Structure 1
Amino acid sequence: MKSPRDFIPEINMQPAKEFMSAMREQVERMKPTPDSIYAIHNSMRRMTNQFDTPGPEMRDVQDFNVPRTDFPVPVRLYTPHQASDGPGPTLIYLHGGGFVTCSIESHEGLCKRLASGSGMRVLSVDYRLAPQFPYPAGPDDCEAVLKWALQGYGQDDYNIDRAQIALGGDSAGGNMTAYLCQKYRDQIKAQILFYPLMQLVDFKPPKPGPQDWLQLGFMALKFIDEHYTHGADTQDTRLSPLFEKDLTGIPPTYVLTCGLDPLRDEGKLYADNLSAHGVKVVYVYEKMLPHGFLNFARAFPKGRKIPLDAADFLRDTLRASAA
């Protein structure tokens, strides 16, 4: 059987230039109004199709709903060939997209790489999005899925071991992951934060640089403030987990930040805060990569390597916790 790393061929960087050009066009056209959200969804789908590559083949892929009284939550479970036949460790993954776009479809390649690399099941959550469903709909959905797994409801039918749950996410998904790992720190075994959005108070990085000339971060955070937070207290750690003062007991954490990302400073600060509280942290900094590159693995070859490195961290951490 091929190693997951065999799926990383030598690729020229011309697609990366094409990606950055397409991203600039999208930013220039984007107008932060609710009516534009459908165009943003379509643009993300086109860009993912153009710049991402399929993930490794899975043993099984299942779509189902996690039951709730009001809004059942759609999820997709990726089972890699190496996964246990019985209940085993599972990563619950919360996709990014600024709380307003992306889906289990846009993040399928990334989730498959995490599953294949770690040998663990990955449960991807299709939570509700703003502006149709503003805060706290998305976090409520993600917490409902986490509680469902931790309470053992996925064990018999889906082989999700309640005692071996990890949580991960990118960008907005990293925001919700960080908060939920704070709240359920005694039950979660590991967390992955890919270029996480850690606070919703300040729209600009504390030390703006030339990489911020597009103002993509400012525009995105302004949209989030107007159409997602919807007047909620952004100082609350459920919206801004960076402000949590007590980080003792947080599970081992993998943090990725990027030099071409307006969120780079807050991700690094959270990693430092975790380390200061005695949390085991693997911190990775990719100086020349932009926010969101993991969804565009054809343009950025490290979009295939980084998930495998994070998968190594997951596998080793879960194995140590089970020993």
Structure 2
Amino acid sequence: MFSPKEFADNFRERFERLKFDPDKIYSIHNNIRRLTNQFDHPGPKMQDILDFNVPGESCDVPVRLYIPFGAEDVAGPTLIYLHGGGFVTCSIESHEAIALRIANGANMRVLSVDYRLAPEYPYPAGPIDCETVLKWALSGSGKDAYGIDPAALSIGGDSAGGNMSAYLAQKYRNDLHAQILLYPLMQLTDFKPPKPGPQDWLQFGFMALKFINEHYVAGANANETRLSPLFEKNLRGLPPAYVLTCGLDPLRDEGKLYADNMSCHGVKVKYHHEKAMPHGFLNFSRVFPKGRTIPLDVAEFIRTYAFNTPVKSITEMAGEAV
């Protein structure tokens, strides 16, 4: 078991060495992969895991479908999951354990999207890929071959994935059962929290957001809701939302603000705040044990709205899904 201090020292050393140099983006990918392998528990076993491509107008989009034991043989509810990584790094592999825990805990399919990343593919490549997969699922193209019911879809993701999930939930609000926003990046105009605290002194968040602005936004209008879904004014009719924020996260205020805005517009919101957790903790469950239990909370929430049937308690699921 690793201590939070060991994890922080290891992460800080690698972070400072890389300094977000675009020429070292593959080193960033490799370092994050090693970090997740070192500091995360593997997820539960699945009945089946399928890799395939969803056809798109400009390119095909790789996806991975997780089918848990006990999932219905007929087409059923599916969560489309968009991984985090600041639009520049991470992948299906780095976020596999999160998807596995949600799939197993909710006993439903999870379709993880391997969208294109900046700086090689700046905005709007990533959102286009994610929307391509959502439209493909809504069209019913995945029903017969993969058991993806187009009438029982939800969307979610963490960080950058939460950003794109929030926008797609706005655009396709009448077609989705739920949205899962895990420490979401909700706007790309301001790089610092409105009330900086001691947790912001190292300015990791500022440096990361500056890099995102330079290499992902890349001159686009950051006030557009596809980049900054926080700025959407019409929130009525959005699908029920689960919003997670962390006290040691520079994105904590914007996630809370969006949850409050949705509630004020009549959206069903479950807001969960982890005061002592940092951004990205779900990928590092060996250091932060709540990285194994929060996905079960997510699973209970999404199953409630995807199936509209009674669900197991968190305690019951914890014995099965971790």
Do both share a fold (TM > 0.5)?
yes
Q: Size of the alignment, in residue pairs? A: 310
Is 1:269 paired with 2:268?
Answer: no
Q: Does the 8 A contact of 1:154 with 1:161 survive in 2? A: yes
Corresponding residue number in structure 2 for 1:176? 164
Corresponding residue number in structure 2 for 1:258? 246
Corresponding residue number in structure 2 for 1:27? 15
Q: Which amino acid aligns with 1:34?
A: P
Q: Does the 8 A contact of 1:15 with 1:51 survive in 2? A: no
| 1:121-173 deviations in Å (ceiling 9; x for gaps) | 00000000000000000000000000000110000100000000000000000
Is 1:118 paired with 2:106?
Answer: yes
Is 1:61 paired with 2:28?
Answer: no
| 1:255-300 deviations in Å (ceiling 9; x for gaps) | 0000000000000000000000000000000000000000111111
Q: Distance in 2 between matches of 1:56 and 1:18?
A: 26
Corresponding residue number in structure 2 for 1:149? 137
Q: Distance in 1 between matches of 2:76 and 2:52?
A: 19
Corresponding residue number in structure 1 for 2:25? 37
Q: Does the 8 A contact of 1:189 with 1:321 survive in 2? A: no
| 1:221-272 deviations in Å (ceiling 9; x for gaps) | 0000100011000000000000000100000000000000000000000000
Check 1:225–1:317 CA distance in 2 against 1; reply closer, same or farther (3 A cut): same
Is 1:159 paired with 2:137?
Answer: no
Q: Does the 8 A contact of 2:240 with 2:305 survive in 1? A: yes
Q: Which amino acid aligns with 2:187?
A: Q
Corresponding residue number in structure 2 for 1:312? 300
Q: Distance in 2 between matches of 1:299 and 1:92?
A: 27
TM-score (ref. length: structure 1): 0.94
Which among 280, 290, 297 is matched to residue 268 of structure 2? 280
TM-score (ref. length: structure 2): 0.94
Q: Which amino acid aligns with 2:300?
A: D
Which among 79, 82, 85 is matched to residue 73 of structure 2? 85
Q: Which amino acid aligns with 2:230?
A: L
Which among 195, 206, 218 is matched to residue 194 of structure 2? 206
Once the 2 structures are TM-superposed, how far is the Cα of residue 19 of structure 1 from its aligned partner? Answer: 1.3
Q: Describe the SS at the equivalent of 2:214.
A: helix
Q: Distance in 2 between matches of 1:92 and 1:42?
A: 25
Q: Distance in 1 between matches of 2:223 and 2:154?
A: 26
Q: Distance in 2 between matches of 1:232 and 1:321?
A: 43
Q: Distance in 2 between matches of 1:144 and 1:157?
A: 18
Q: Describe the SS at the equivalent of 2:242.
A: strand
**Bigger mean CA deviation after superposition, 258-267 or 213-222:** 213-222
Which among 223, 238, 243 is matched to residue 235 of structure 1? 223
Which among 185, 195, 217 is matched to residue 205 of structure 2? 217
Unaligned runs of 5+ in 1: 1-11
Q: Distance in 2 between matches of 1:293 and 1:31?
A: 21
Is 1:188 paired with 2:179?
Answer: no
Once the 2 structures are TM-superposed, how far is the Cα of residue 105 of structure 1 from its aligned partner? Answer: 0.2
Is 1:100 paired with 2:95?
Answer: no
Corresponding residue number in structure 2 for 1:5? none
Q: Describe the SS at the equivalent of 1:83.
A: coil
Q: Does the 8 A contact of 1:95 with 1:103 survive in 2? A: yes
Once the 2 structures are TM-superposed, how far is the Cα of residue 17 of structure 1 from its aligned partner? Answer: 2.3
Q: Which amino acid aligns with 1:202?
A: D
Q: Describe the SS at the equivalent of 1:268.
A: helix
CA RMSD, Structure 1 to Structure 2 (Å): 1.2
Q: Describe the SS at the equivalent of 1:220.
A: helix
Q: Describe the SS at the equivalent of 1:235.
A: coil
Corresponding residue number in structure 2 for 1:298? 286
Q: Distance in 1 between matches of 2:57 and 2:188?
A: 30
Q: Does the 8 A contact of 2:56 with 2:129 survive in 1? A: no
| 1:202-239 deviations in Å (ceiling 9; x for gaps) | 00000000001121110110000100011000000000
Q: Describe the SS at the equivalent of 1:76.
A: strand
Q: Which amino acid aligns with 1:133?
A: Y
Q: Which amino acid aligns with 2:13?
A: E
Q: Does the 8 A contact of 1:82 with 1:116 survive in 2? A: no
